[in-house]
Amino acid sequence: MTPPNEAKSWRRAYDSDGYVVLEGLLGVAELREVREALAPLLEQGPSGRNDFEGTRTQRVYTLAGRGRTFERLVEHPAILSMMDELLMPNYLLTASQAIAIAAGETPQPAHTDDSFYRVSRPRPAISVSTMWAIDDFTEDNGATQVIAGSHRWSDDELVNMYYGDDSLGLAPQYAPQLRSLVMPAGSCAVFAGTLVHRGGENRSNGVRTAISNPYCEPWARQQENFFLSIPKNKVRQMSPRLQSMLGYSVHPPFMGQVTARHPRKVLNPEFVNPLAD
Ligand SMILES: O=C(O)CCC(=O)C(=O)O
């Protein structure tokens, strides 16, 4: 857990740079548990299908639906207390995935995580990302790279960052601005959905494993459709808070309703869908 005095100072760094790194959120035993839970999933997992996912990167999607260990990360109290400050009440989990960048992977195209929301910039972030370091993040193993302060850029500044072709390559003058988020395993980087970042090049011989859990405003569409991906019998076992973050919640007065009922009612085995045949 973050000591209270550190918890207070995160906000200044987050507001000025667009990100903050919290070290030591996971202890040795918790890290071991996460690695053990991830190992069989990564063994099955295919590599990415394109340059963005990373052809030498394994991704496991819908991690929050794959066991208690991952649920606990989503609900980590230090992270949720930050989200409570950064997003409106009833905020949602927008995606949940493991990202294992293998040796030889090239840099990911630089991007922002809330670019899906076509609302002109500069503007407040509509999502906030968390990137858990499950391995140490180093200068050469693919640590996430960010451009500090880019969360304040306008749409024009964002477009200028690219070469101007379709490759989404970073224009050369921006490369020196990239900072690698070097941090020990067990840390978590929290950054604005408006911040320019990318997965780094992996020049090491090892794998860089991370877990990415971004959260979004309660009125914004989630990247992952958890209603369809996580079976209801699994959702029923989860805490009310997590159920709510997956979307079994109402953003007042009635966004998210199910035939004029609270969506949590759908989890009750007795629930009868009025539209069912
Ligand atoms: O793996 C990373 O460090 C960043 C990944 C990322 O930003 C993404 O896939 O959207």
Give the per-residue pLDDT at 86.
Answer: 98
Q: Is 260 helix (H, G, I), strand (E, B) or coil?
A: coil
Q: Which of 129, 139, 140, 144 to mutate to test the pocket of ligand 1 (most atoms within 8 A of CB)?
A: 144
Give the per-residue pLDDT at 165.
Answer: 55
Taking CB atoms and a 6 Å cutoff, what residues make up the pocket around ligand 1?
Answer: 99, 108, 113, 131, 144, 197, 199, 210
* CA 2 / ligand 1 centre spacing (Å): 24
Query: DSSP secondary-structure letter at 223?
Result: S
- For residue 1, pLDDT over 50 is answered with no
pTM of the model: 0.94
Give the per-residue pLDDT at 169.
Answer: 75
Q: Which of 47, 53, 108 to mutate to test the pocket of ligand 1 (most atoms within 8 A of CB)?
A: 108
Cα torsion angle, 150, 154, 156, 159, sign: positive
Q: Domain spanning 4-230: which superfamily?
A: q2cbj1_9rhob like domain (2.60.120.620)
Q: Which of 105, 131, 141 to mutate to test the pocket of ligand 1 (most atoms within 8 A of CB)?
A: 131
- For residue 77, pLDDT over 90 is answered with yes
Which distant-in-sequence residues (6+ apart) come within 8 Å of 97 by Cβ? 59, 60, 61, 62, 63, 211, 212
Going from N- to C-terminal start, the domains of the chain cover 4-230
Smallest CA separation from ligand 1 atom 10, residue: 113
Which distant-in-sequence residues (6+ apart) come within 8 Å of 28 by Cβ? 186
Which own/partner contact pairs does 239-247 have at CB distance under 8 Å and 24+ positions apart? Answer: 239/71, 239/75, 240/264, 241/75, 241/80, 242/64, 242/71, 242/74, 242/75, 242/93, 243/267, 244/90, 245/74, 245/91, 245/92, 245/93, 245/215, 246/64, 246/92, 246/93, 247/92, 247/222
pLDDT tens across 8-31, in order?
Answer: 689 999 999 999 999 999 999 999
pLDDT tens across 167-190, in order?
Answer: 567 888 888 999 999 999 999 999
Q: Considering only CA atoms, which of 230, 229, 221 is closest in space to residue 256?
A: 221
Average pLDDT in the 254-259 region? 96
